[in-house]
Amino acid sequence: MSLFDQKVSDLHEQLHKKEISVSDLVDESYKRIAEVETQVSAFLTLDEERARSQAKKLDEKLGTDEAKGLLFGMPVGVKDNIVTKDLRTTAASQILHNFDPIYDATVVTKLQEAETITIGKLNMDEFAMGSSTENSSFKKTKNPWNIETVPGGSSGGSAAAVAAGEVPFSLGSDTGGSIRQPASFCGVVGLKPTYGRVSRFGLIAFASSLDQIGPITRTVEDNAYVLQAIAGVDPMDSTSANVEVPSYVNALTGDVKGLKIGVPKEYIGEGVNPEVRESVMKALATLEKLGATWEEVSLPHSKYALSTYYLLSSSEASANLARFDGVRYGYRSPNSNNLMELYKNSRAEGFGDEVKRRIMLGTFALSSGYYDAYYKKAQKARTLIKKDFEDVFAKYDVIVGPTTPTPAFKISEKTSDPLTMYANDILTIPVNLAGVPGISVPCGFDQGLPLGLQIIGKHFDEATVYRVAHAFEQATDFHKQKPGL
């Protein structure tokens, strides 16, 4: 039995009693990486020497008051678009293949203050653009449940590393479902917090009005501990919200009596696999037994979410990625005779196909003559989608539905058809457009592949989302099942 089969709180208790050491946890992580990494390919960079050195320092604190934090000594993997001082951060792109940041992202600083240990940086779709982690310019990550299938994306490495037992938890980022969708595919727990709940300072931007960092863990309780550590206002990020952070762990009561659940008919209708729909209906029956009630509701403008998202996110990406020009840092083309050639060649050689596709779409949507027809109209549609959520939340505590319309698909199955790949995020994208929190928890299996239940809450009400997720998790055993790597 792996140490990482246990909850963080159990590991903390064993550390406190000196039954295990921080070095044991770090050893466990690198031992497991050595065993399965050739199959899973979750990590891009390992930080073994520094991690082992930190572990020895933390071992000296065991048994003292300095070792009280619940995440003390816990190994963590960090998605490779979150900057880490002196530890290579590439966003899985050739344009940043040699980039060693000179500062830490705020979430990394907060985890260091909680005295976690960074094991390494995790693979992803290049610049977080993708739903399968097949767009990484370095390697393709595999799903630990079946290495012929994708782990989801763009945080595929973050979800696969947790599912494979390489780290007890990881950080991902979610722009249109990039935490929840891979969490669903890999049978783990993934939360996208409310926009502004967690600082984006140090996150390499894809779409600034949509991006949000969040935790991927084995259990809901672990997820609450990690969010507790990374949430809060940050003077370095003007979009982080000055809203009090409650105790998420105290919300894990297991009690959902009287809770009102809305189930959008658009989320369980056409395009959703029968097996996925059935697993959601069984999950709702479980929540009913626990005392909650549910009714079918409508989010009528969600049918516009996909086109709205790809116009807005690509437009923001077009602006954000203009900074990668071959001049200040990152890849610089050696085949240039003047400044204009340097710009063109560095970007042409450094960016992958999917990134170029979205830059071109975004630049087109922002261009003169098309701005009103596309970008402005998409912003209006976003407002309507946000209002749909507000209308439902006026009567219901949470919204529940599937995380993805299907289980994980085969590697290379959808790479030739970008539109089919984009449609994979159809159930997660509206949550980002509205800025509300959403979590994916394991709720079943289809032909041996995990399925996820998505629980969506009101702005800054992660506590209720956790309460429902935890109650469901405790009433089932899907989270206890592991891939047979």
Q: Which residues are designated catalytic? A: 79, 154, 178
Give residues with Cβ within 8 angstroms of 278, minimum separation 6. 444
Computed on alpha carbons and rounded to an integer, the radius of gyration of the chain in Å comes to 21
The two beta strands, 75-79 and 169-174, are parallel
CB count in 10 Å sphere of residue 484 = 8
Phi-psi region of 54 (alpha: psi -120 to 50; beta: other; left: phi over 0): alpha
- CA 392 to CA 445: how far, in whole Å? 29
- CA 440 to CA 473: how far, in whole Å? 11
In a 3-state reduction of DSSP, which class is residue 445?
strand
CB count in 10 Å sphere of residue 111 = 23
Contact 115, 69 (CB under 8 A): yes
CA 187 to each of CA 143, 224, 262, 290: distance values in angstroms, whole numbers, following the listed order: 10, 17, 24, 23
For 443, which DSSP code? E
**Partner residues linked to 171 by β-bridges:** 78, 215
Which tokens go with 153? Answer: 């994306």
- CA 245 to CA 415: how far, in whole Å? 40
Contact 464, 457 (CB under 8 A): yes
